[in-house]
Amino acid sequence: MRSLGPRMEVAVAMTILGVGAAVVAAMHLTWPEPDYPAMAYSVSGGEAGVADIEPFGIDDISGGAVELTPGSEGARLVRLSNPNTVDIVVLTLQAVPGQPLDEAQNRVPECPSGVLTVEPMPEPVTIPPAGSVDVEMVVQIAHDVPDACKDLVFPLTYSGRAARA
């Protein structure tokens, strides 16, 4: 098989990924006061037709973890930022809960990540050049949460797609 070369491989990978970003933050399922702050980092790539556009940023700015009890609803405040010199439209933004972690940062298999759901961003948002927009993501916890889920931190992975406005 013939190699495309490092530059072409990067271009192909960026075309496949699309303009988007991913961030990991923490949701805390707890009955007492949460102790763990949300952590965030971003990863992104480009898409055909918008290769000259820098990936947008996603930053969970909610502060500390959100305290949730069985059957409750909470929210995460997420800042979307545009590093470009043109308007962009963030078309989609979603968050997927990961396997919950205990105080020692160990996975707890007795608590499925599916007890936590995050509603996707309801409609696209336009972000001005070098600007940002804050959106709220609604988080829901199931009514029938296993006892093993008490005092755990759920990592959230955010991802989304954007295009030139």
CA 79-84-56 angle, 5° bins: 35
What's the pLDDT at 88? 93
Q: What is the DSSP annotation of the chain?
A: -----HHHHHHHHHHHH-SEEEEEEEEEE-SS---PBP---EEEE--TT-TTSPPPEEEE-S-BPPEE-TT-EEEEEEEEE--SSS-EEEEEEEEEE---B-TTS-B-TTS-GGGEEEPPPSS-EEE-TT-EEEEEEEEEE-SS--GGGTTEEEEEEEEEEEEE-
Question: pTM of the entire structure?
Answer: 0.70
Token pair recorded at residue 68: 């949730």
Mean pLDDT of the chain: 76
Q: What is the pLDDT of residues 104-136, one digit of tens each?
A: 889 999 999 899 999 999 999 999 999 999 999
